């Protein structure tokens, strides 16, 4: 059996967990980033949580448009 090595590749951090973005005047927070997909969440009225998924590119443009 061949030995394998794991290498960590440095990726540029484009979106930070907890970073806030506004979509249609509603604040969303970045919950996780997997590959090119960012999961955003927000707490709704009554304690309900809502999640959506956007690409890193979409979220990056929203971050740069902060009100």
* pLDDT interval class at 40 (50, 70, 90): very high
* pLDDT interval class at 1 (50, 70, 90): low
Domain extents in the chain: 20-64
Alpha-carbon distance of 58 to 44, in angstroms, equals 22
State percent of the chain over pLDDT 90.
40
Alpha-carbon distance of 8 to 59, in angstroms, equals 25
Query: Among 53, 22, 23, which residue's Cα sits nearest to residue 36?
Result: 53
């Amino acid at each position: 059996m061949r030995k394998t090595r794991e290498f960590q590749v440095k990726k540029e951090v484009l979106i930070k967990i907890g970073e806030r973005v506004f979509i249609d005047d509603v604040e969303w927070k970045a919950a996780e980033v997997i590959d090119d997909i960012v999961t955003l969440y927000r707490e709704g009225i009554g304690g309900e949580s809502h999640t959506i998924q956007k690409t890193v590119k979409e979220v990056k443009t929203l971050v740069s448009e902060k009100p």
